Amino acid sequence: MSEESKWYVVHTYSGHEKKVKANLEKRIASTGMEDNIFRILVPTEEKIEKKKGKDEVVKKRIFPGYILLQMDLNDKSWYVVKNTPGVIGFVSGGNKPLPVEKDEIDNILRSMGEKAKKVSVEFEVGDQIVVTSGPFEDFEGIVKEIHPEQGKVKVLVSMFGRETPVELEFSQIKTT
């Protein structure tokens, strides 16, 4: 996967998302596009439905008629996706497919119980840090917990002479 790899939304015939995913997987393999198209996702969530008086857990599509693709967009990858049976087209701004914002994809993956791409963490439990932004800016603290899947860290900062736990984003701290 290259650095320019992004997620795109592909419009499909509603109810055919799984079939389109299978068709895409076959086309990717037959055209040798594994180095350009990495993941195909049909976003689903678990819902509880009453069937014959009993609760049953079923998977429901979050975006009926759409699938998500993580890919390096180029003419060849675009052509392979666009000409797959069941694909209507990319969600785009004019002629060019629009990538989905990273935060949006992370939220979708999180809601599905999947983890976003592994985040490299430059600190570990016990490290001294300084808060670089937010209401606790310039406070010093010690890392107590790291939650890479959420991109958060729990830090003990000293306030009013007491150690106080604070949850912060990775981007809000740096090691000292």
> pLDDT tens track of the chain, all 176 residues?
554 579 999 999 989 999 999 999 999 999 999 889 999 999 888 788 888 888 888 888 888 999 999 999 999 999 999 999 999 999 987 788 999 998 888 888 887 776 544 455 778 899 999 999 888 899 999 999 887 766 788 999 988 888 989 988 888 898 88
Spell out the domain ranges in the chain.
6-112, 127-175
CATH number at 6-112 = 3.30.70.940
93-129 exposure pattern, b = at least 16 Cβ within 10 A, e = fewer:
eeeebebbeeeebbebbeebeeebeeeeeebeeebeb
Q: Which tokens go with 46?
A: 């678990």
* Alpha-carbon gap, residue 12 to 88, rounded angstroms: 5
Instruction: Identify the burial level of 7 via C-beta atoms within 10 angstroms of its C-beta, where 0-12 means exposed, 13-18 middle and 19 or more buried.
Output: buried
Asked whether 131 and 155 are in contact (CB, 8 A), the reply is yes
Topology classification of domain 127-175: SH3 type barrels. (2.30.30)
* Alpha-carbon gap, residue 147 to 37, rounded angstroms: 29
